[in-house]
Structures are given as structure tokens and as C-alpha cells.
């Protein structure tokens, strides 16, 4: 496997770890500040994984809007523009340095919902092999679009990209790659 795919896989596996931590926290009695932080981290790592797959340099930033813009600059047809990441982006700093930041469960749940939705778009934007799906997210046809950029036509096996274990696509929806 080439370095680009290994780099992408690494980012996405770390994003899954952050989502798992956020889910464990929201299932507890709190506090919920770390759930918000892990949601921000999950989206950040998911977007960085997408940038790695797109063979772009990965900036040293926690700014989700900047990462979103960079992804859209390379692949403008991705449905990432629909996400308002301003609040989630702030959780990278608020949780660590704002001593008055103690979100309630509803705020943390909203962050988790947004993180799962953004993760679904990032994962759904990657091409898959075996006729399962191809860019830009055609889960049924498995056909490449005539507008698919040439550098994205290289098929990936889900197993190669994510590695073994479950991949959470959305709340309550997952794929298990053994």
C-alpha cells in the first residue's frame, strides 16, 4: 500500500477512536466537555484523512473551516459545504482553556451528530472496490462519474483503507471489515 493510503487510513482510524470516546462520554453522566472536544478532533482527523487521500499536504491547524475549504478546493463536488463547522471548530480550544465551558448533554449530542454526519460524508467520498461504491458517493451503481478527477479513480478496498474492525458510518450504522 502506498504512503498516501496508509496516511489516509491512519487519520480515519484516529477519527474513529475520537468518535468512540465521544460516544462513551455521552452515554455517561458527564461531564460532556470532552465529548465536544473529541467530536472536533474526529472531524479534524476525518478531513485530514480526506486531504491525505486527495494527495494534499496536511496543514498543522485545528480550524475545521480551513480544512473544509482545502478539501473543497480540490474536490468541489463533495457535499462538505453543507456543514457549518464554526461551533465544532471552537471546541478544540474551549474545552482545554475555557474554565467556564461545561456543555450539557444536548450540546454534546449535537456535536456527536454533526461529527457522525461529517464522517459519513468523508467516508462516503472515498471510492471503494468490488462494485460497492466509487467517488463521489454512488453506493449503488459502483460506476465512476465522468466528472471524477483522474487522481481519484484509483480504487480502494475498504479493508485496505480503514483496516480491520468496525467502521462507524453514522449513528447506529456501521460496517464490519473483520
Residue 137 has pLDDT above 80, yes or no: no
Q: For residues 20-31, b (16+ Cβ closer than 10 Å) or e, as one string?
A: ebbbebbeeeee
pLDDT in the model for residue 67:
96
Closest by Cα among 122, 144, 54, 50 to 135: 144
pLDDT at site 89:
93
Alpha-carbon distances, residue 55 vs 14, 35, 76, 116, 174 (angstroms): 18, 30, 15, 24, 26
Q: How far is CA 83 from CA 46, 79, 118, in A?
A: 14, 8, 7
DSSP state string for the chain = --HHHHHHHHHHHHHHHHHHHHHHHHTTT---HHHHHHHHHHHHHHHHHHHHHTT----S---HHHHHHHHHHH-TTSTTTT---HHHHHHHHHHHH-TT----HHHHHHHHHHHHHHHHHHHHTS--STTS--TTT-TTT-PPPTTS-GGG-S---HHHHH-SSEEEEETTEEEE--
* 18-27, 98-107, 108-117, 143-152, range with the lowest pLDDT: 143-152
Give the model's pLDDT for residue 39: 96
Cα Rg of the chain (Å, integer): 16
Residue, of 106 and 167, whose pLDDT is higher: 106
Q: What is the pLDDT of residues 60-117, one digit of tens each?
A: 999 999 999 999 999 888 888 888 999 999 999 888 888 999 999 999 999 999 999 9
Q: What is the mean pLDDT of the chain?
A: 75
What pLDDT score does 17 carry? 93
As a whole number, mean pLDDT of residues 146-168 equals 39
Confidence of residue 127 (pLDDT cuts 50, 70, 90): low
All structural domains of the chain, each given as residue ranges with its CATH number in brackets, are: 3-176 (1.20.120.330)
**pLDDT for the residue 5:** 83
Please report, rounded to a whole number, the percentage of residues in the chain having pLDDT higher than 90.
Answer: 48
Confidence of residue 2 (pLDDT cuts 50, 70, 90): low
Confidence of residue 130 (pLDDT cuts 50, 70, 90): very low
Length of the chain (residues): 178
Amino acid at each position: 500500500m502506498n504512503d498516501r493510503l496508509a496516511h489516509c487510513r491512519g487519520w480515519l482510524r484516529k477519527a474513529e477512536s475520537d468518535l468512540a470516546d465521544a460516544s462513551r462520554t455521552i452515554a455517561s453522566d458527564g461531564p460532556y466537555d470532552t465529548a465536544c472536544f473529541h467530536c472536533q478532533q474526529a472531524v479534524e482527523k476525518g478531513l485530514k484523512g480526506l486531504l491525505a487521500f486527495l494527495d494534499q499536504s496536511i496543514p498543522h491547524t485545528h480550524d475545521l473551516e480551513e480544512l473544509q475549504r482545502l478539501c473543497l478546493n480540490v474536490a468541489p463536488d463533495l457535499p462538505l459545504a453543507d456543514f457549518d463547522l464554526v461551533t465544532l471548530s471552537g471546541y478544540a480550544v474551549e474545552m482545554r482553556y475555557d474554565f467556564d465551558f461545561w456543555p450539557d448533554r444536548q450540546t454534546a449530542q449535537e456535536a456527536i451528530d454533526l461529527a457522525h454526519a461529517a464522517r459519513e460524508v468523508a467516508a462516503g467520498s472515498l471510492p471503494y472496490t468490488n462494485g460497492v461504491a466509487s467517488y463521489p458517493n454512488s453506493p449503488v451503481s459502483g460506476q465512476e462519474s465522468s466528472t471524477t478527477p483522474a487522481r481519484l479513480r484509483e480504487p480502494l478496498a475498504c479493508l485496505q483503507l480503514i483496516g480491520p474492525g468496525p467502521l462507524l458510518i453514522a449513528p447506529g450504522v456501521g460496517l464490519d471489515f473483520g
